[in-house]
Amino acid sequence: MNRIRHHGRIAATLAALTLSTAGLTALAPPAAQAADGPVAGDTVAKLPISSYSAMVVDSVHERVYVTDDRRNQYANQVHVYNFQGQKVGSLPTASAPSGMALSTDSGTLYVSQSSGILAFDTVTQEYTGITYPAYDVPCPRDVAFAGGKQWHTETPYLTTECDNRQTWLYGTTGNRSTTTGWNAAGRLRLTSGPEVPDRIVMAQSRSTGEANPFLTTLDARGDTLVRGPERRFADAEGRGALDMKDVAQSPDGRRIAVADAAYGAGTRLLDAADLSDAATAYQPLPEGAKASAVAFSGDGKYIARGAAATGSTADLLVQPADPADGTAPLEFAFEGALDGDRIAPRGLGWSKDGARLFAVATNTYGNEYWLHIIQPPAAQYDSRFTGALSTTPGKPVVGEPLGIRGRLELDGPAPAEPVRVTAVRHDANGDRKLAPVEVDADGSFTVLDVPSLVGDATYTVSFTGDLTHRPAEDITLAVAVAKAPTAITLTAPAEATKSAGLTITGTLTGQGRPLPAGITLSVQRTDRKGTGTLTSAAVAPDGTFTVNDLPRVAGQVTYEVGYSGDDLHSAATASATVRVRN
């Protein structure tokens, strides 16, 4: 996986990406043809807030709006940033703002405050009026824009127990507000967007008063909201209840993604038609990460999945929106005091063209916030393995290092750093994943392995792609793994006498795994009377052995010492000839 580790703005290249003090750079695998291409960048702005409520991205005017829902006079404004991360102004509010929504044409920004819903012109940044004057209540309002109307929630109680009191959904026409009749316990979260202009997704927050929250969709095309499918997620025993932190609709309206902090995989992907689980799910977030945010890119190609995690565990994954796409996600781990430690709930948003991802990060205590503007590569290029795989050495031997050599070729921009390929060995024991290896600048690579079984094995090498390159088709190589060779060396006298006898010393050595203990070697003597078997020679732990003999006749006598081999080692023999005198 491609990973970036933020830590005091010190760069650390974990795989195919690196973060420098100048920004984030995406590194593609080696390419056969170097070409100019898009790179990824990261700009970080420290937000002047101590709590966070909402973010809205206006791609038409290239503005990012952020609200701080603190209940004091210093929070009475909406902070406005451009797409380069510079603060370019603020929108004053009479009380602390909370929810925001952008009209379908991006001409009006609706901002909820404790006394109503305000409207601002997104071109002039001027206040244009209050669309709904309301009693001043302490609980924050969520705002949505769908069906050409502004909608909002309200908890009409003078209480700070906003997560446990009844919340109502209202629609607004002009400066009049009308109840829709929809209400539920606890806080209701609304999600809408210009890509799906007539639908609102409403999710109930988990609270002490609601153990099994719901998720539903509302059709806003008419004067009356029409509820679509509804789903609760707990089973009969109460397990698996929704803990919604964020909701996103795919631009084509077919999918709804939910950042569910109680869900093992983190991000639920649902079919919008009936809220059933999509046929293919996203891979789980890294172990220890709890989902906090989710957003589809405006072009529908990517999804960003935010999380709250500690240490070097990834807090943000950027990957293809299609879960069946095997491209490895970009992973961001925020660890530094200058970057934040995790993604804030509802803290992700994309530009419409998918060229920028806006991420609000917070620290562990939730009292400091940062705006990250990440520019992923805007295009993907093809990748392929060229030629056939080969082995070094040419004949694989059990227990001995083996190199699987090949070459990866990619189109598009040349990389600044190498990337990695992965491999799996399949043999009679099943599959074993090998350690990923870096690809050299010319595209060549060598996957290392030590075969553990004699017999047939197949190696499959993969490149799963990155945000810039599509995955390559896997390449395989079948090999026959042989037993490890052994060798016997002998040291014998040139001459000996029958009466004094003779001594032959030797050493048994083997490649691969260590030879077993307790080995005995066969010893045969051949002279003019024929061939006979002598007492076996015991091999010491260091591989040495000794053969002692009293020759029975004079003349040329040949001694042959043999090792029969074992499951992992081949057999070996050696011989020595001695001239024997009377």
Q: How far apart are CA 488 and CA 524, in angstroms?
A: 14
Strands 342-350 and 267-271: unpaired
What is d(CA 241, CA 231) in angstroms, rounded to the nearest whole number? 11
Q: How many other CB atoms sit within 10 Å of the CB of residue 328?
A: 25
Q: Which two tokens mark 511?
A: 């490649």
As a whole number of angstroms, the distance between CA 146 and CA 178 comes to 15
In eight-state DSSP terms, residue 73 is G
Tell me the β-bridge partners of 462: 422
Cα separation of 23 and 3, whole Å? 14
Q: Which residue has the higher pLDDT, 31 or 468?
A: 468
Q: What is the dihedral of CA 281, 287, 291, 295, to 10 degrees?
A: -50
Q: Cα torsion at 386, 391, 395, 399 (round to 10°)? A: -150
> Do residues 40 and 26 make contact, with C-beta atoms less than 8 angstroms apart?
yes
Which tokens sit at 141? 């309002």
pLDDT at 311: 83
Q: Which amino acid is at 558?
A: T
Q: What is the pLDDT of residue 178?
A: 84
Residue 39 pLDDT more than 60? no
Distance CA 238, CA 188 (A): 21
Is the Cα torsion angle 272, 471, 287, 45 positive or negative in sign? negative
Q: Measured between alpha carbons, how far is 136 from 97 in angstroms, rounded to an integer?
A: 12
- What 3-state class would DSSP assign to 561? strand
Q: What is the CATH number of domain 486-581?
A: 2.60.40.730
- Closest to 429 (Cα-Cα) out of 460, 447, 451: 451
Tokens 């491999």 correspond to 423
Q: What angle do CA 549, 552, 554 make, to 5 degrees?
A: 105
What's the distance, CA 13 to chain centroid?
A: 15
The Cα–Cα gap between 133 and 174 comes to 11
Rounded to an integer, the average pLDDT of 521-538 is 96
Torsion of CA 75, 81, 86, 87, to 10 degrees: -30
Label residue 1 by pLDDT band (50, 70, 90). Answer: very low
Query: What pLDDT digit, counting tens, does each position of 45-81 carry?
Result: 999 999 999 999 999 999 999 998 765 555 689 999 9
**pLDDT score for 417:** 65
Range with the lowest mean pLDDT among 236-245, 250-259, 374-383? 374-383
Calculate the CA 499 to chain-centre distance. 78
Q: How many helices (H) and strands (E) does the chain have?
A: 0, 47
Element (H, E) at 308: strand 302-308
**Mean pLDDT within 489-503:** 96
- Read off the pLDDT band of 285 (50, 70, 90): very high
pLDDT grade for 487, boundaries at 50, 70 and 90: very high
pLDDT of 437 reads 95
| Fold annotation for 383-481 | Immunoglobulin-like (2.60.40)
Q: How many CA atoms lie within 13 A of 216 on its CB side?
A: 16
pLDDT tens-place string over residues 334-368: 887 788 999 999 999 999 988 899 999 999 999 99
The pLDDT-based confidence of 29 (bands split at 50, 70, 90) is very low
CA distance 245 to 346: 7
Q: What local confidence, expressed as pLDDT, does residue 6 receive?
A: 39
Query: What's the whole-number average pLDDT of the chain?
Result: 87
User: Is residue 130 within a helix (H) or strand (E), and if so which, with residue range?
Assistant: strand 127-133
Q: Rounded to whole angstroms, what are the CA distances from 149 to 30, 146, 152?
A: 51, 6, 10
pLDDT tens digit sequence for 112-160: 987 889 999 999 999 998 877 666 777 888 999 999 999 999 887 766 6
State in Å, rounded, how far the first CA of the chain is from the last one. Answer: 77
DSSP character string of 389-448:
-EEESSS-BTTS-EEEEEEEEE-SSPPSS--EEEEEEEETTEEEEPPPEEPPTTSEEEEE
Same fold, 383-481 and 486-581: yes
Buried/exposed 161-186: b ≥16 CB within 10 Å, e otherwise? ebbebebbbbbbeeeebeeeebebbb
> pLDDT tier at 25 (50, 70, 90 boundaries)?
very low
Residue 141's pLDDT is what? 87
Residue 21 scores a pLDDT above 50: no
Q: What is the dihedral of CA 555, 558, 559, 565, to 10 degrees?
A: -170
Answer whether residue 378 shows pLDDT above 70. no
Give dist(CA 259, CA 281) in Å, integer: 13
| 165 — pLDDT class (breaks 50, 70, 90) | confident
Whether the pLDDT of residue 175 is over 70: the answer is no
pLDDT band at 7 (very low <50, low <70, confident <90, very high): very low
Phi, psi of 268 (to 5 degrees): -85, 135
Q: Do 190 and 202 touch, CB atoms closer than 8 A? A: yes
Q: How far is CA 286 from CA 27, 175, 263, 311, 316, in A?
A: 22, 47, 13, 12, 10
CA 56 from chain centre, in angstroms, equals 26
Structure tokens, 321: 């929106």
Rounded CA-CA distance 10/19 in Å is 8
pLDDT band of residue 262 (cuts 50, 70, 90) is very high
pLDDT class of 13 with cuts at 50, 70, 90: very low
**Where is pLDDT greater, at 124 or 41?**
124
Residues 6+ away with beta carbon under 8 Å from 512: 397, 398, 399, 400, 483, 484, 568, 569
Q: Is the pLDDT reported for residue 234 higher than 90?
A: yes
Query: What residue spans define the domains of the chain?
Result: 383-481, 486-581
At 435 the pLDDT is 94
In this predicted model, what pLDDT tens digit does every residue of 186-205 receive, in sequence order?
889 999 988 899 999 999 98
Residue 539: band (very low, low, confident or very high) from pLDDT cuts 50, 70, 90 = very high
Amino acid letter at 53? S
User: How does strand 267-271 pair with strand 290-296?
Assistant: unpaired
DSSP 147-179: TTEEEEEE--SS-S-TTTSEEEEEEEETTEEEE
Contact indicator for 83, 351 with CB cutoff of 8 Å? yes
